[in-house]
């Protein structure tokens, strides 16, 4: 008589950069249970569990389907595809590329129509890509153009967060800087979490935290009450005094990483004094 030895079935531990780990991270971040994701995607909860544990491998269509339901940004969808063993499909095209001509025309049109008030086009990391004349006027009213380039231009781009937070930037010309900075830090963190960003966003946040008083401000900002409909930015230097609030626009249904991460921020006068004096 022979005996057959039965070894227990083991579930492989998913690696930190595996598809299963990424799927679980995004599911948790979006507040989905495995059952929620299963119902929404019409995939069995058992299969979702197997994908997360590494016991099952997804097809490319499955990766894209689950990523779409979880609203995973295109940049991170490419990472999920690579982790699952597929080639990345979402491009990242420079804004100056010929195929971006129609987009640049649209952006230029928006910037022009925002005149005489400031408008900025920024990327996901708050790097300045385009401005209208009014935005340039606002910046150089407080900062010397040469110093703006020397101090705040990194890798060919001026970072607006750095301009706002650096002690030698706009900080000393913003009357309500503490309140504004607290809200911007919260926004930066929210955007990083929503996009699943790691190193680059963390690096920027750490740099801002290294500036005087910013870390303490970060800890207190969440507890400060909000008693206004809009947060305005109050600029003041000698005889110049302006108050602006902002709106943010994005491009609809982009299939390119660069386009998905573009932000068009437009400033508008927050009071009649600014409206009269700015023009």
DSSP-derived secondary structure letter, 256: B
E-strand stretches of the chain: 119-122, 128-131, 153-154, 157-158, 233-237, 240-249, 263-269
Say yes or no: 79 and 111 in one domain: no
Q: Please count the structural domains in the chain.
A: 2
Domain range for 177: 98-278
Contacts of 27 (CB under 8 A, 6+ apart): 33, 34, 37, 52, 70
Tokens for 114, please give them.
């925002």
Q: Are residues 141 and 252 in the same domain?
A: yes
Q: Do 119 and 159 belong to one domain?
A: yes
CATH code of the domain in which 188 resides: 3.30.450.180
pLDDT tens string, the chain, 279 residues long: the values are 333 334 444 445 555 579 999 999 999 989 999 999 999 999 999 999 999 999 999 999 999 999 999 999 999 999 999 999 999 999 999 999 999 999 999 999 999 999 999 999 999 889 999 999 999 999 999 999 988 888 888 778 899 999 999 999 999 999 999 989 988 888 888 777 766 655 566 788 888 889 998 988 877 766 666 666 778 999 999 999 999 999 999 998 889 999 999 999 999 999 999 999 998
Here the CATH number for the domain that contains residue 53 is: 1.10.260.40
Is 260 contained in some domain? Answer: yes
Assess whether 73 and 160 both reside in one domain. Answer: no
| 83, 108, 133 - which closes a domain | 83
Domain membership of residue 57 (yes or no) is yes
């Amino acid at each position: 008589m022979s005996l057959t030895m039965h070894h227990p079935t083991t579930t492989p531990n998913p690696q930190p950069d595996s598809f299963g780990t990424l799927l679980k991270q995004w599911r948790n971040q979006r507040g989905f249970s495995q059952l929620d994701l299963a119902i929404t995607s019409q995939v069995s909860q058992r299969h979702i569990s197997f994908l997360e544990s590494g016991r099952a491998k997804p097809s490319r269509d499955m990766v894209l389907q689950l990523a779409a339901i979880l609203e995973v940004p295109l940049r991170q969808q490419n990472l999920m595809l690579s982790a699952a063993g597929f080639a990345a499909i979402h491009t990242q095209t420079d804004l100056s590329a010929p195929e971006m001509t129609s987009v640049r025309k649209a952006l230029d049109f928006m910037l022009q129509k925002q005149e005489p008030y400031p408008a900025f086009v920024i990327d996901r990391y708050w790097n300045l890509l385009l401005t209208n004349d009014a935005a340039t006027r606002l910046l150089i009213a407080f900062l010397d153009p040469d110093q703006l380039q020397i101090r705040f231009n990194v890798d060919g781009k001026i970072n607006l967060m750095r301009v706002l937070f650096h002690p030698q930037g706009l900080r000393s010309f913003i009357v309500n800087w503490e309140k504004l900075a607290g809200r911007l830090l919260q926004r930066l963190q929210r955007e990083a979490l929503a996009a699943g960003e790691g190193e680059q966003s963390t690096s920027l946040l750490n740099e801002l935290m290294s500036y005087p008083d910013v870390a303490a401000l970060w800890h207190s900002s969440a507890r400060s009450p909000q008693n206004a409909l809009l947060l305005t930015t109050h600029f003041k230097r000698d005889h110049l005094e302006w108050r602006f609030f902002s709106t943010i626009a994005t491009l609809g249904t982009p299939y390119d990483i660069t386009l998905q991460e573009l932000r068009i921020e437009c400033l508008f006068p927050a009071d009649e004094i600014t409206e009269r004096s700015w023009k």
